[in-house]
Homo-oligomer: A and B are copies of this chain.
Amino acid sequence: MVPVPDLCVLGLGLIGGSLLRAASAAGWTVWGATASAEDAVAAAKDGYDVLADVDQALERAAQTDALIVLAAPLPAIDGLLRKVAAIAPTAKLTDVVSVKGPVEAAVTRLAPNTRYVGGHPMAGTSASGWVAGKADLFKNAAWVVAVEDETDIDVLGEVIGLALATGAHVVPASAAEHDSAVGRISHLPHILAAVLATVGADGGPLALALAAGSFTDGTRVAGTRPELVQAMCEGNRSALLDAVDDALGRLGAARGSLASTGGLAKTIEAGHAAKRALDEQKAAERTDVTIDLSSSGALEALRAVGARGGQVVGLDGVTVRARTS
């Protein structure tokens, strides 16, 4: 169990291209393919094993029971899944898309016989293309691996092994838990930064001239390429709606309190306590725990590690080593 599989990477942009490099550097047998001629040529020129098209890459994957990685943006996933279903219908499958529920649903709809375990390496998104990739992109990054009740343990072990091989640590969570969390800490910040930047600029040159650290910090990610932010946020529509509603509720409560009593203590103290919780979690002591993947209850134990803010840092045979507070 949990041998190193062959790896087939579909999509050779920033994430897929970095993954091809990282797995290769870790000694894996890995090949890739992409619909982007530019990325394909660049990757081949750099000496990597690039097949002529996605079909050929999938045929080879079917022959060797390789682990297939969908390394394309969400809008391209359906097309890839149709090819997977046609050429390698029972393949071991993972992905690197920044939202997990919609990909899981697409797999169920279009390639239901694949052995799918979702993933999301949380590494750089501001540059793109093969040329922007690098073998150490995932070093020290969090790589969320989706753990559901019906998850195939063997494929789960292989996906965890792949993430660890790239230098990432693994955060186990269900797709729903993942999407809810990133809606709050990754997508909502972009919406609030856009709102703050706009309200500030509406104050005209005087307001912008007086802008100091609090405004600069709060609007920094509004400088990210809009099409990337849009794709990321819109892809997580349902969970992001929950996060936006929470923000609207809290901002509305602050508004009501300021208008009626003039007081903001509740809003500001809650924010300060939350910030302290973040800092304390970062500084918290960690305990090492091990989980036997072949044991019953392994999936629940993994999800519990993620839910407590912990991470998987090692895999020996079927034994996962995790650190949790």
Q: List chain A positions with a Cβ less than 8 A from chain B.
A: 122, 142, 144, 171, 173, 177, 180-182, 184-186, 188-215, 217-224, 226, 229-230, 233-234, 237, 240-241, 243-248, 250-252, 254-255, 258-259, 262-265, 267-279, 281, 306-311, 325
Closest CB of chain B to A71's CB: distance in Å? 20
Asked if residues B208 and A272 are in contact (CB atoms below 8 Å), the reply is no
Asked if residues B197 and A278 are in contact (CB atoms below 8 Å), the reply is yes
Interchain residue pairs with CB less than 8 A apart (12): A142-B212, A171-B210, A180-B207, A185-B207, A185-B215, A189-B196, A199-B246, A209-B281, A219-B278, A234-B258, A234-B262, A244-B258
- Please tell me which one of the listed residues B181, B219, B230, B254 contacts residue A191 in the complex, with CB atoms under 8 A apart: B254
Closest to A204 in B: B307
Asked if residues A193 and B218 are in contact (CB atoms below 8 Å), the reply is yes
Chain B residues with CB under 8 A of A277: 201, 208
Number of copies: 2
Asked if residues A244 and B233 are in contact (CB atoms below 8 Å), the reply is no
Chain A: interface secondary structure? helix
Tell me, in angstroms, the Cα distance from A215 to B184 when the chains sit together: 9
Closest CB of chain B to A99's CB: distance in Å? 13
Chain B residues with CB under 8 A of A309: 204-206, 208-209
Asked if residues A144 and B272 are in contact (CB atoms below 8 Å), the reply is no
Asked if residues B268 and A307 are in contact (CB atoms below 8 Å), the reply is no
Of the candidates A247, A262, A275, A311, the one having the most CB atoms from chain B within 10 angstroms of its own CB is: A275
